Homo-oligomer: A and B are copies of this chain.
Amino acid sequence: MANQFKEYLQKYGIKPSTIRIKILDYFYHHRTHPTAEEIYQALLAELPTLSRASIYNTLDLFLSRGLLKTLPTEDRETHYDMNLDFHGHFECEKCGKIYDFSPPAFEHSPQELQGFVIHSKEMYYRGICAPCLHKKP
């Protein structure tokens, strides 16, 4: 398993290290959209001397290499998402939960971006999720 992560990192031109593999592992097993603090708290058990700075360093590195992206949440803290296959996000304005969804197929790509190189795509919807719609107020 750890070997897969190593290869994955190398594919993005990143030298493997303990923290880098652990963070990758975190995303792989949680499939959520965590904040830096959530990752920090989760890894603290295994890496007692871990510092937040190292989390931020690693997240920034991953961002710059396109391994992660940030979500346009209205939270104070930044939420990160792993850039695996292209998928969309729906944020419920009532309960705050973020849902993933598979993206609708496009009929064609935008003309304004002719000649642009696209590294990542993000779709972010906001609204009210079905569970919240059916809750009594």
Q: Which of A104-123 contact B (CB under 8 A)?
A: 104-123
Give the docked Cα–Cα distance between A90 and B120 (Å). 10
Interface residues of A, count at CB 8 A? 44
A112 partner residues in chain B, CB cutoff 8 A? 90, 99-102
**Docked CA distance A69–B124 (Å):** 11
Contact yes or no, B104 A116, CB < 8 A: no
If A123-B123, A124-B124, A125-B120 touch, does A113 touch B90 (CB 8 Å cutoff)?
Answer: yes
* Contact indicator A70/B69 (Cβ below 8 Å): no
Contacts of A88 in B (CB 8 A): 110
A77 touches B (CB below 8 Å):
no
- Check if A55 is an interface residue, CB within 8 A of chain B: no
State whether A130 touches B116 (Cβ < 8 A). Answer: yes
Asked if A7 lies at the interface with its beta carbon under 8 angstroms from chain B, I say no
- The CA of A109 and the CA of B93, in the complex, are separated in Å by 20
* A128 close to chain B: CB less than 8 A: yes
